[in-house]
Amino acid sequence: MAINTQNLSNREPVEYADLLHAEGRSAARSGPEVVLVNHAAVVAAARDPETYSSAVSRFLQLPNGLDGDGHAAFRGLIERYLSADAVGGLADDFAATAARVIDERLPDAEVELDAVTDLGAVFSVRAMIDWLGWPVAMEDRLLGWVLENNAATRSGDLERTAAVAKAYDDIIHEVVGGIGEEDTVTAQLVADDSLGRPLSFNEVVSILRNWTGGDLSSMAYSIGVILHGLAEMPAIQDRLRGGVSEAEMTAIIDEFLRIDDPFVSNRRVTTCPVELEGEEFPAGTRVRLHWTGANRDPGVFADPDAFDPHGNAGNNLVWGVGPHVCPGKTLSMVELHSFVHELLARAEVLPAGEENAAREIHPVGGWSARPVRLRPLV
């Protein structure tokens, strides 16, 4: 079956994926790319870096833009900072940060807030500052950057996105250039010689950009999706308040994110001719692994919107799969566990009106604005 055209531009990712699935299509053309939404096809490509290379950008992207031994070396370096042992001790700090963010915005009476900007973005910036040891005075600047980055990404304007990227690089240069004697994660990275040599300045900047730039927005979007899900499912709120294991908390968070995956896609480029949907494509073909689509494949998830944390866990692709599976999942989960726990200890999450809600469009997903009501617990 020939692969038809269905452009991604200005499309909401869940709507795009559901349309392809409803038409019985596992892939579509979008400009110069082939977009895969079939679960099995996405998994197969993600697990085959020899055929589907991650070297897709002209910019230095560590470790995401590397393959083979180069990727393994930098992956090993960064995993030392992101392992369970490295980040497990941050839970109390993240919980305290979440508590402050919530307490600053939760009066004695019910209040309506935007889960993405009022809560998610502020928490993500403060948590990152905590983790990396960046100056607290950078909070407002980083928050402004998150909002501008989201708007620029949404616009698709390459000049605007380039300007936003440069602004973030300027922030990183300023932070790295101002490192003193304090033993922070950023200082440790700058001094890291585990590859048998010091990291170049550009390598440090690339790693920090990978750790922080996209993740600031992703954490905010994730909190928007999770709070929307909790507002719609008060029984899940009650269960979490009653106390659950870390494994169950993780499964619940992962399932909210599977249903409405804000980590939409990753790019690959073929290193040799490939066959997709019975059609031959040459080496150099751009392929997009659409995680949102794969996570809603009705051939795997009979009802993609049905909430089944344990039943769907084995096929959940929110954090990717293969050699490029997200190394930051453990850190992100510590942050999300902390935020959800602190919020539910203080308030009931209720649905709000739809007039101020807005969905994101490709290349990002989830909500750009998601009002919820918070009712303080007595």
Q: Over the stretch 82-138, which tens digit does the pLDDT of each residue have?
A: 999 999 899 999 999 999 999 999 999 999 999 999 999 999 999 999 999 999 999
- Estimate to the nearest angstrom the gap between the alpha carbon of 111 and the chain centroid: 27
Question: Residue 148 half-sphere exposure, CB side, CA atoms within 13 Å?
Answer: 16
Give the pLDDT score at 153: 84
> Does residue 29 sit in helix, strand or coil?
strand
Whether 50 maps to a domain, the answer reads yes
Whether 1 maps to a domain, the answer reads no
Whether 8 maps to a domain, the answer reads no
> How many domains, the chain?
1
| Residue among 263, 219, 289 at smallest CA distance from 53 | 289
Give me 378's structure tokens: 């007595």
Q: What is the 3-state secondary structure (H, E, C) of 250-288?
A: HHHHHHHHHHCCCCCEEEEEECCCEEECCEEECCCCEEE
Whether 5 maps to a domain, the answer reads no
Give the pLDDT score at 367: 98
| Average pLDDT estimate for 338-344 | 99
Looking at the predicted structure, is the pLDDT value of residue 2 above 80?
no
Whether 161 maps to a domain, the answer reads yes
Whether 4 maps to a domain, the answer reads no
Do the beta carbons of residue 51 and residue 30 sit within 8 Å?
Answer: no
Whether 342 maps to a domain, the answer reads yes
The mean predicted confidence, pLDDT, of the chain is: 95
Give the helix/strand (H/E) hosting 73. Answer: helix 68-82
What is the CATH number for 327? Answer: 1.10.630.10
Domain extent at residue 39: 13-376
Give the pLDDT score at 192: 97
Distance CA 228, CA 326 (A): 24
Distance CA 131, CA 216 (A): 12
pTM, to two decimals:
0.96
Do the beta carbons of residue 71 and residue 54 sit within 8 Å?
Answer: yes
Whether 23 maps to a domain, the answer reads yes
Looking at the predicted structure, is the pLDDT value of residue 1 above 80?
no
DSSP state of 5: B
Residues in the chain, total: 378
- What is the phi/psi pair of residue 372, to 5°? -135, 160
Do the beta carbons of residue 296 and residue 18 sit within 8 Å?
Answer: yes
Do the beta carbons of residue 185 and residue 176 sit within 8 Å?
Answer: no
Give the pLDDT score at 179: 87
Query: In this structure, are strands 371-376 and 111-114 parallel, antiparallel, or unpaired?
Result: antiparallel
* Tens digit of each residue's pLDDT (9 = 90 or more) over 306-324: 999 999 999 999 999 999 9
Give the pLDDT score at 215: 82
Give the pLDDT score at 237: 98
Distance CA 67, CA 333 (A): 26
* Tens digit of each residue's pLDDT (9 = 90 or more) over 237-259: 999 999 999 999 999 999 999 99
